[in-house]
Amino acid sequence: LIDYVDGNLPAEDRARLDPHSKNCPNCLAMMKTYRQTIAVSREVSRCSMSAEIRLRLERFFQEKLRNARLLSEPVSNSLNLQGTFFILV
Same-domain check for residues 69 and 58? yes
Within 13 Å and on the Cβ side, how many CA atoms surround 70? 6
- Domain region containing 16: 1-47
Same-domain check for residues 68 and 85? yes
Kindly report the pTM of this predicted structure.
0.47
Same-domain check for residues 3 and 43? yes
Same-domain check for residues 66 and 79? yes
Same-domain check for residues 43 and 1? yes
Q: How far apart are CA 66 and CA 44, in angstroms?
A: 25
Number of domains present in the structure of the chain: 2
Which runs of E-coded beta strand occur in the chain? none
pLDDT per residue as tens digits for the range 39-89: 887 776 666 778 898 889 889 888 888 877 665 545 444 445 445 444 444
Same-domain check for residues 35 and 53? no
The CA distances from residue 10 to 15, 28, 31, 34, 54, in Å, are: 9, 20, 18, 20, 40
